[in-house]
Structure 1
Amino acid sequence: MNQVLNGGKRTQPHLSFQAKLAYPSAFCLDIAFDTSSPVTALWGPSGSGKTTILSLIAGLLKPEQGRIQLGDRLLTDTQQGTQLPPELRQVGFLFQDQCLFPHMSVLANLQYGIRRQRNRTVPLDHIVEVLELQDFLKRSPTTLSGGQKQRVALARVLAATPQLLLLDEPLTSVEDALSTRIEDFIHRVIGEFQIPTILVSHNRPLVERFTQHIIAIEQGRLCD
């Protein structure tokens, strides 16, 4: 996927998403949308299908029917039999649970994120600086607060140089007293690295602070 510079500004890649996926519980996701916004929010109540959409984009789930394209890269096409594996999608997924390795130091967790990256565009030191992680690179994630863990997890995602950033309820695992600070860090990351971002949240005021491009979802469908 190419992000073409236009007059000094980065042109956002177009994401085209159409997918249908039914669960044994009778829940059925059937959604299509397109976006070229720097930040797109998927907003709706818990259980509406927001995280499922992120998982489909990341390649962690396969739709029964659908097509997902990011810029000029086809990620999924059930008619053609195309299902690009997650590690080749260049999509960074920040999960609700940070999924850090407790037996590794913070630095080792970050280095794990770049193990397959040969042509890095952003130095790891710069990511560490932006997210202010210098003071706990040698510490275990088990000694960190929820907010610190979230910053480490975000740094590890960025270290893999994704071309699309997926944020799944990024403040859920953060202490209330630190949520504003983590929100500020996310704003900083989006502005500094200019990675197109899809933000999932049930919190309407939160998503409105990030973008006016909000896609409302309820029970697996788009809603007004």
Structure 2
Amino acid sequence: MLTVTIKKTLPDFELNLEFRVKNNILVLFGPSGCGKTTTLRCIAGLEKPDDGEITLGRETFFSARQRIFMPPRTRGVGYMFQDYALFPHMSVEKNIWYGVKQREKAQELYGKLLLLLKIRPLVNRGIKRLSGGEKQRVALARALMAEPKILLLDEPLSALDAETRLELQAELKQLHSIWRIPFIMVTHDRDEAEKLGDQIIFMRQGEKVAGSF
């Protein structure tokens, strides 16, 4: 179980959030600028909270009281950024393999991801030649190749057209049913939150609020 209890002072408000998630899809839902992405970055170790604690099972990622701050590279957290953060000078295949150290052990997983995400025909293609939906699939494959303990998704479908968005919502649900790890997803789309979220946290100005907007 992932347990998050964090406080962090931001320019316009204080992020003050507490939640727990098992192997479910948790959606952070709210308007732009309410602290959703900062929450993901704190879990990943890209930002440090001012106070609180972040644990995964018996592992402590962060504890203000115990003065623990685990570096991002050792947390085992997969992060899919809003702009996908793919390397434009590399092929699809090289992007997916980027950062994988034990290549022989990961061959089976690589083949599985190509099949599940329907990107086998794209492996030799450059990133600039991909559609938005194809980039999203490649970014997902790269994040899952690291065999993360948690997957963080920052508005992964926001730039896609309606048809592609619906298709990839279904694929995300399928991937989660196979991986069975905590997926934490940020969105400001209510329909998407309700369709994908096993748990939904409604956020406004850094805090959890009851009900909906």
With normalisation by structure 1, the TM-score equals 0.88
1:48–1:219 contact (8 Å) kept in structure 2: yes
Q: Aligned match of 2:28 in 24, 36, 42?
A: 42
Residue 42 of structure 1 aligns to a residue in which SS? strand
Extract unaligned runs of 5+ from structure 2: none
1:78 and 2:44 correspond:
no
2:77 maps to a residue whose letter is: V
Q: Distance between the aligned counterparts of 2:158 and 2:92, measured in 1? A: 21
Shift of 1:32: 1.4
What do the CA deviations read for 1:142-180 (whole angstroms, capped 9, x no partner)?
100000000000000000000111111111122333111
Give 1 or 2: higher helix fraction: 2
C-alpha RMSD of matched pairs (Å): 1.8
Q: Distance between the aligned counterparts of 1:21 and 1:70, measured in 2? A: 20
Alignment partner, residue 173 of structure 2? 187
1:142 and 2:128 correspond:
yes
Extract unaligned runs of 5+ from structure 1: 1-13
Percent identity over the alignment is 38
Stretches of 4+ aligned residues off by more than 6 angstroms: 116-119
Between 1 and 2, higher relative CO (CA 8 Å, sep ≥ 6) is seen in 2
2:169–2:196 contact (8 Å) kept in structure 1: no
Residue 166 of structure 2 aligns to a residue in which SS? helix
With normalisation by structure 2, the TM-score equals 0.92
1:156 and 2:147 correspond:
no
1:91 and 2:77 correspond:
yes
What is the number of residues matched between the two proteins? Answer: 210
Q: Distance between the aligned counterparts of 1:138 and 1:79, measured in 2? A: 49
Alignment partner, residue 18 of structure 1? 5
Residue 60 of structure 1 aligns to a residue in which SS? coil
Alignment partner, residue 15 of structure 2? 29
Deviates more, 1:119-128 or 1:70-79: 119-128
Q: Distance between the aligned counterparts of 1:198 and 1:57, measured in 2? A: 10
1:105–1:137 contact (8 Å) kept in structure 2: yes
